[in-house]
Amino acid sequence: MIGAYLGPMFSPRVMPVVALGCSLVLAAPAVVRAQDPVPRPIDLADALRLARQAGPLRQVADARRQIGLGRVTETNQWANPSIEWRRENLGSTLLPDIFATVYLPIDVSGKRLAQRQAAAAGRDRVAREAEADRRTADLEVARAWMRATVAQGHAAIIGDQVEALREIARVDAERLKEGQVSEAVGLRTSLEADRARVALVAARREANEAHAALARLLALPDGPFPGTAPIATPVLPAAPDSVAARHAALAARPELQAREAAVQEAQRRLAVERRAVLGEVQLQGGTKETSGFMTGQVGLAMPMPLFNRNTGARQRAAGEYHEARLLRDDMRVVVSAAAASAWANYQQVQRAAADAATFDARGREVARIARLSYREGHATLTELLEAERAAADARQAHLRWAADAWMARLELERAIGARLDADSPLDLPIYSPQPTGR
């Protein structure tokens, strides 16, 4: 999940804070306009909308769809008729023979019909593959937005620590003058503040890199990145049970539908190659002028399958049909397993929601009490610094859970091919359980 993905990137002690009570905006006006002096931060819905409009992942998916449709159409072209004009007896005393002939290919084996059926299945396959690419692009954009938001919040938390340690250093400097603390305590406070400032530089660099990666996926114009909005408190609606989730995935996932269409396409192409043993018949008709007399002519030409019986093409098509069936069966397993895994992860996130939702508030409260106690002389510097780290850990845990929770929901919806409710930012149909019958 997203937590495992973000783990190596960010220190577990320095993750950004999530503002409680935030709500995810699902429909918003344009975020980046040339006339806006200060563009507002980008939330998840903004990111998905911008990526769908002009993002490179969506454009690549559309280009692949166009390529696929072109390839399917290329294999289903009607044969062109041929026109021949020929003049014979040139350079002799004989009157010339002039021929005007039209050759029209005729499909007597049904090959063209099978090609049209294969093309229809191919167009369906391409459409399903394009839909799967678009959904994958949405998930990639969501992950990039989460990474950028986490990196931005990471820098914000370090900034809060720097300000807190500066205040502590100021208090200790006054106490040192009054002889209430030792010189070592003042040096320790200054050292912690300097270390936090160095960490802030690294955090801001990571945030800039994450923002640049997100800006590329959103195809934003050059200029200052407007930043990302805080991750909202995740909404975790009820999910279908595990059996219903797998059934929904098998019915709605475009990857599996594309494999089913690929099987139909391969089956019809196998029929094409089998029927191609008998080549196309050519109907000939035209005129012939001989010795000044105009006459008509008709003819029929048909290749005889004596040496070439299209054996290689039939073997290839049979292998492709077998491969398509194996890939379809494998995709069924993949889709079912992905739905089961996403469902189990979503259930775990839901069970942790009651405790994780208060991490941020409790962390802030721990830091507030520790600072107040230190000012009043009821806590040591070591106790204060431990409390600050514990508060940062709690705020980090809150954000990691929020990011994990949102990604768990989006990945479950992606896995079953349907939204859990109308507020989902993903462009999917809403899940509705199918009647089970009596």
Q: How many CB atoms lie within 10 A of CB 213?
A: 14
Tokens of 16: 């950004």
Mind giving me the DSSP string for 184-196? HHHHHHHHHHHHH
Whether the pLDDT of residue 15 is over 70: the answer is no
Beta-carbon contacts of residue 160 (< 8 Å; ≥ 6 apart): 17
Q: Quick one: tokens of 319?
A: 């292998």
Pick the CATH number of 2-416 from 3.40.50.970, 1.10.3720.10, 1.20.1600.10, 1.20.1090.10: 1.20.1600.10
Say what the pLDDT of residue 11 is.
Answer: 36
- pLDDT given for residue 434 in this prediction: 57
Kindly give the interhelix angle for 111-178 and 254-275, rounded to the nearest 10 degrees.
Answer: 150
Mean pLDDT to the nearest integer, 78-94: 87
Neighbours of 314 (CB within 10 A): 17
Kindly tell me the sign of the dihedral angle through the C-alpha atoms of 276, 259, 128, 250.
positive
If pLDDT is split at 50, 70 and 90, which confidence band does 433 have?
Answer: low
Task: Name the nearest CA neighbour of 403 among 55, 13, 4.
Answer: 4
51-60, 153-162, 248-257: range with lowest mean pLDDT: 153-162
First to last CA, the chain: 38
Task: Examine the pLDDT at 33 and tell me if it is beyond 60.
Answer: no
When pLDDT is cut at 50, 70 and 90, the band that residue 30 belongs to is: very low
Q: Report how far residue 130's alpha carbon sits from residue 72's, in angstroms, rounded to the nearest whole number.
A: 14
Higher pLDDT, 35 or 206: 206
Question: What average pLDDT score do residues 195-211 get?
Answer: 91
pLDDT tier at 22 (50, 70, 90 boundaries)? very low
Q: How far is Cα 347 from Cα 352, in angstroms, rounded to an integer?
A: 9
Residue of 298 and 433 predicted with greater confidence: 298
Q: Tell me: the pLDDT tens digits for 101-140?
A: 999 888 888 888 899 999 999 999 999 999 999 999 999 9
Place of tokens 């993949």: 334
Closest residue by Cα to residue 418 from 239, 235, 233 = 239
Range 425-434 average pLDDT: 80
Q: How far is CA 163 from CA 30, 149, 377, in A?
A: 34, 21, 20
Classify 109 as helix, strand or coil: coil
- Asked if pLDDT for residue 25 goes beyond 60, the answer is no
Other CB atoms within 10 Å distance of the CB of residue 90: 8
Position 267 confidence tier, pLDDT thresholds 50, 70, 90: very high
Under the banding of pLDDT at 50, 70 and 90, the label for residue 18 is very low
Is the pLDDT at 405 greater than 70? The verdict is yes
Task: Give the mean pLDDT of the chain.
Answer: 84
The model's confidence at residue 201, banded by pLDDT at 50, 70 and 90, is very high
Provide the residue type at 436 as one letter.
T
Least confident of 164-178, 208-222, 250-264, 376-390: 164-178
Report the share of the chain in percent with pLDDT over 70. 87
pLDDT band at 186 (very low <50, low <70, confident <90, very high): low
| AA identity, residue 435 | P
CA distances from 19 to 361, 399, 402 (A): 9, 9, 10
d(CA 313, CA 213): 46
Residue-wise pLDDT tens digits, 340-378:
999 999 999 998 888 888 888 888 888 888 888 877 778
Tokens (6 digits) for 49: 């909308």
> Which amino acid does the sequence have at 348?
Q
Q: What is the DSSP string of 304-338?
A: --SS---HHHHHHHHHHHHHHHHHHHHHHHHHHHH
pLDDT attached to residue 244 = 93
pTM of the shown model: 0.79
Crossing angle (nearest 10°) for helices 381-416 and 242-252: 50
Does the structure show a pLDDT above 80 at 27?
Answer: no
Least Cα distance to 141 among 76, 219, 25, 205 occurs for: 219
